[in-house]
A and B are shown apart, each in its own frame.
Chain A
């Protein structure tokens, strides 16, 4: 049983006079077995929340706390956070030329598990995980994210989710840039992780699903839906809140755009 607790989190970006406050007091608790969806218009700070929890160097936490089972996440380095059981599936995974997917996965799994996986089991484990995500084996020899299509990048993120087995997973706009088939494969991968990991005796993982659109919520049903606007959560509810957002958009929170009007998958800003 794990709990990620976010309390009154304030985060800025930039330095000196250029400093802008993006998160303005976020409160959220995600526990094992729960799926939380955070929905909100572009620019509301959803991705900042995800990156701040992971420790992205661009963002500065200026107030509040983040704890995982009581441990101070904000005091940890980026890699310590991952080893503590946090995982962020990124909207824009980074290319790392010359580092093969297989070497990367093995290095990451070794770091997170604290020991190198046994070779025979490892090959089987990776091949199985790739097969269910409908990824070709040749994929393992390519450089990390280099030349990957949008769909391949997202499958690769979910492959890591399955292999690193985090206690709390954050999925940042995993649905953006995916066609219907890829969205189905990726969503099934997430659901399988959430259900199979629960059988390992560790309790089910917790998940924070960040999305602009409701379509991924047809595949992954959230227990809780939070509306994110202007750097904080402005409304929380059950999965029926997502249906209401689907119908009404974010207009009643003061947003100019509706949930239907954005261009899916187009990067609003590169991080």
Chain B
């Protein structure tokens, strides 16, 4: 069975085009698991985050920043907090109202290297809030590297000023019992470009919901996702791209590999093109490769097009097992079956990883993926 044979294009998710947003947690009922936005999530594992708690942990949040980057830990009433994000669910609203501090990163010019935020955390319950702001015409990259064992409710605000190019990578390499729910709100100014990358390698439950607000003409969003879900991992990505102004572009590519009978991934790709968004170009794709029986990938692309005056809008979703023809081709060149499988899986994910544009990080991610696949480090035979 090939991936392309399983292309599944669905017309609707039942997701309302106008989303309810509020900073008041009580405006959102406690999720029971049947709601459209929670039906794919194992809510029992998240229950602690549905009620207010006294934080018992906080992210290390130390920042390795080159020149051109200023950062600070600020109080929640700082003017820079809450610029973009309006909570869309109860967990986000609770995090918004209970986080005691926020990490604010401000990026100007062209910093010579990526900003690295250490998202290390000690065991416990945590509320987190982060604001990443690229000033107009800045060109910068931020990598947030999550690890440890904790239960985290988080909000991330990403502001990309006019003409700025910002790459944000959220790398999840959590311990096996970590739960991480995060809402990312991205606002793009005129001619701004964001490359937003979610890399899910380990963690019991990682649910990241990026929303993109196109606030100026000519903006562009490239949304990338890479996941390698093993036994006991649930990785969920819920995207919402809201094209409200003319001549913006969005390009979404999420790929997951699932290995292990309790491996789960969920991908929701909602794209709305409002009447004013003439000249929009959007394409979204989700591909999931199932390596073992029992693994399950849910994939729901959804396009709501409210104007015919667009350049293009498309989506594709495919979930399947190995492509027999790819394996045949590699084997026909002498490559043993298991090595051919590893090459295909590695390539399936490298296809997205190669687009991140941060070579050190790409190497780290591919090394972690290769280790999971059982690649042994190559011993070079120099003479």
Which chain A residues have a beta carbon within 8 Å of chain B's beta carbons?
A: 54-57, 77-79, 81-83, 87-88, 90, 93-99, 103-104, 107-108, 111-112, 115-120, 143-144, 160, 164, 271
Other 17 A-B pairs with CB < 8 A, given A96-B343, A99-B346: A57-B324, A78-B328, A79-B333, A79-B334, A82-B333, A88-B332, A90-B332, A94-B325, A96-B326, A98-B346, A98-B348, A99-B343, A104-B330, A104-B343, A118-B381, A143-B347, A164-B333
Report B164-201 CB contacts with A as 1/0, cut-off 8 Å.
00000000000000000000000000000000000000
A164 to B343, CA, bound (A): 19
**Is B35 located at the chain interface by the 8 A CB criterion?**
no
Q: Kindly report which residue of chain B lies nearest to residue A99, judged by CB atoms.
A: B347
Given A97-B348, A98-B347: A164 touches B334 (CB 8 Å cut-off): yes
CB closest chain-A residue, reference B354: A98
A108 with B334, Cβ < 8 A, contacts A96-B343, A96-B344, A119-B382 known: yes
B27 contacts A by Cβ under 8 Å: no
Write the chain A residue with the least CB distance to B383.
A118
User: Which B residues, 311 to 347, have Cβ-Cβ distances below 8 Å to chain A?
Assistant: 323-326, 328-337, 339-340, 343-344, 346-347
Report yes or no: B329 in contact with A107, Cβ–Cβ below 8 A.
Answer: no
CA distance A116 to B383 in the complex (A): 11
With A111-B339, A115-B381, A118-B381 known as contacts, the answer to whether A96 contacts B329 (CB < 8 A) is yes
Which of chain B's residues 265-299 have a Cβ closer than 8 Å to chain A? Answer: none
Can you offer 27 A-B residue contacts whose CB atoms are under 8 A? A79-B332, A79-B334, A79-B335, A79-B337, A79-B340, A82-B331, A82-B333, A83-B334, A94-B329, A96-B326, A96-B347, A97-B347, A97-B348, A98-B349, A98-B354, A99-B330, A99-B347, A99-B350, A107-B339, A108-B334, A112-B333, A112-B334, A118-B382, A120-B382, A143-B347, A143-B351, A164-B333
Q: Shortest CB–CB separation between residue B341 and chain A, in angstroms?
A: 12
Residues of A within 8 A of B331 (CB): 55, 77-79, 82
Closest Cβ neighbor of A95 among chain B residues: B326
B residues in contact with A56, CB < 8 Å: 328
Q: Is B378 an interface residue when CB atoms closer than 8 A count as contact?
A: yes
What is the bound-complex CA distance between A77 and B325, given in angstroms?
Answer: 15
Indicate whether B380 reaches chain A with its CB closer than 8 angstroms.
Answer: yes
Binary contact track B371-383/A, C-beta < 8 Å → 1, others 0: 0000000101111
Whether A160 touches B333, Cβ cut-off 8 Å, given contacts A96-B326, A98-B354, is: yes
A81 vs B344: C-alpha distance in the bound complex, in angstroms?
20
Once the chains bind, are B350 and A98 in contact (CB under 8 Å)? Answer: yes
Q: Residues on B close to A: CB < 8 A?
A: 323-326, 328-337, 339-340, 343-344, 346-351, 354, 378, 380-383
The answer to whether A82 and B332 touch (CB under 8 A), given A118-B381, A119-B381, is yes
- Could you count the A-B residue pairs with CB atoms below 8 Å apart for me: how many are there? 97
Kindly identify which residue among A96, A115, A119, A164 contacts B330, using a CB–CB cutoff of 8 Å: A96
Nearest-neighbour CB distance to chain B for A175, whole angstroms, equals: 20
Bound Cα distance from A103 to B344, whole angstroms = 12
The distance from the CB of A226 to the nearest CB of chain B, in whole angstroms, is 23
Are B328 and A108 neighbours in the complex by a CB distance under 8 Å? Answer: no
B333 touches A108 (CB 8 A): yes
Q: Give the CA-CA distance A112 to B339 in the complex, in Å.
A: 13
Query: Which residues from chain A contact B339 at a C-beta distance below 8 Å?
Result: 107, 111
Q: Least Cβ distance of A61 to chain B in Å? A: 15
Residue of B nearest to A56 (CB): B328
Partner of B335, one of A55, A108, A115: A108
Nearest CB in chain A to that of B343: its residue: A99
The answer for the CA separation of A122 and B190 in the assembled complex, in Å, is 49
Minimum-distance CB pairs A-B, first 3? A98-B347, A98-B351, A82-B334
Supposing A94-B325, A98-B349 touch, asked if A111 and B333 sit within 8 A by C-beta, the answer is yes
Known: A94-B325, A97-B347. Contact between A111 and B335, CB under 8 A?
yes
Q: A107-B339, A111-B339 are in contact. Are A116 and B332 (CB under 8 A)?
A: no
In the complex, residue of chain B having the shortest beta-carbon distance to the beta carbon of A94: B329
How long is the Cα–Cα vector from A57 to B330 in the complex, in angstroms?
Answer: 13
